[in-house]
Structure 1
Amino acid sequence: MNRSVAADDQTRIQRTLARLRDATDLPLTFGGAVNSGMQLQLTQFVGAIAGALRGAVLDPGRGLGGKVVTLRRPQLVNDYVGSQGISHHYDHIIQAECLRALVAVPLVVRGRVRGVLYGAVRSATPLGDRIVHSVMEMARELEQDLAVDDELARRLRWLDERVPEPRATGAPEPAGTHREQLREAYAELRVLAHNTDDPTLRERIEAVCHKLSTAGGDTRPADGAAVRREEAPLSARELDVLACVALGWTNPQVAADLGITVETVKSYLRSATRKLQARSRLEAVVAARRRGLLP
């Protein structure tokens, strides 16, 4: 699948356009994704439109959007039809929508243009610096979100290919180096998960984290009796903290990566230790691994 036109991108663009319209009071914000042929398709709109823009495909270098895709930098026109700085292949669409001033900003992720955001007005009033800055600022935020989504998806694909199915009781534990790699991947995924608000991606992360927690840990306590995960439930945040602690991170390091205070880290750690009936952070990690809560 071409990642640039994935549904995830369209959803992200739509949310950003809604935020942009609320922040600027622009009558219309719109945009879309760029395909592998460098064509921009306008699919996302916030505000009233006549319909001429919907689904329009802009070729590289043509019109305002095509120019933005080619140059990979923002462009502003305060009178679209009268502008000498763009081609006029799409004047009929702009005139049908009665648009005058437009700003367009590319979404560039890892050196590739993934989409374009627009802000537009139907009056002869020029777009001010505040509006142009707002469009650019939100475009930068969206670029970061898309980059995080890409990294999470990449890690999930890698883990899907390499993480073994849960071990049967009594099966040998993975070799030391492989085991540590699984534990590091688990902790990193839990940290990265907090940088995405995509529920579908988060569900995939949780599923892979579950595979990781049961792939490398000893799910039996010292007396050999089976222990169910439900007997020592930890909250998502408690697991986040414990997964980082298991790698030898200090409380300040855990706090910095999870975006919480050191005191909050201590609180989650105390709670997890109590639930696991442990006396120290090390015992808590060992107990969580025995219960299949951590890899």
Structure 2
Amino acid sequence: MTDTTHRAPHPGRRAFLAGAAVAGLGAAGLLGAPAARAASLPRLPGEISRRADQRTAAGTRYDAVQVDISGDRAWLMVPQGLRLDEPVGLAWFYHGAGSDHGALLDGFGYESRQLMDRGLVCICQDAGGNGYAGPYAMSAQAAGWRYVSSLADVGANFLRATSGGGALAAEVLGAGLVPDVVGLYFVNAIWDVRRSYDLGGRAEIGPAYGYSTATVDRTNPARHPASAWAGDRIRIVHTTGLDLVTPPQVHAIPFYERARQRGADVTIRTHDLGHTTPPFVGNEVPIYFTRWFRAWQADRSRG
């Protein structure tokens, strides 16, 4: 395996929070202590179902709530005892094609529970994956941001994407669709949607874009210049073997080469499992969130 790191100066983006709020986020989100037991989360707008009073391996109690957000379903995992009227961190999970928002509880479950141990709220929408960065996925993402920001004072965002969900996550970061992203963790994921479409992916990708290459191009993350990734923190994981879904020479490698030109902390790590997520990812995700959050917090303190 290789692990290559490139760092560039951070350009100093617009601060989203006042210094006191950032400090509060640090105290609440990075100590790693389980949240104190409290009453379950009140009923949420659009709530469909919930799994109340769950517990992580570290002992953090949380509620998992399934909601309808403007016609798009999502699961949210919220640590009990977290004050939503104070700055909180939000982890966005973007599932692959053929999956759905339930991935937050299952495939992403090990990672999401560790992030809740660090005080984050986690969310996974149906948007993305099957929708890539097409019109429906973009609309659902915008609705998702409106929804969570109406419920909580979201002070920092963290993105975790896999496979087809990479297109939406990368577009969210590259186009600045949500503020204050501390980093993107990108695993075996799609970046250049147009090339995948042209290289035989029409049947899989076409429906999300109405089979229109102009629509594909409009929100293709690969259209962004290096400057779009200025100051960003990105971890790219890809295989050295065969990956017919997201070939690294089309997605991971060119994304890395583009982003590292201006990114603040852009790294790449390889594995030999094809399109399968390697086991090290589950342990790296909380480590990288913590690392990036501290760097992001330091930037705000200086700015």
In the superposition, the TM-score normalised over structure 1's length comes to 0.25
Whose strand fraction is larger, Structure 1's or Structure 2's? Answer: 2
- Bigger Rg, which one: 1
Q: Which has the higher helix share?
A: 1
Answer 1 or 2: higher relative contact order, Cα 8 Å, separation at least 6.
2
TM-score using structure 2 length: 0.25
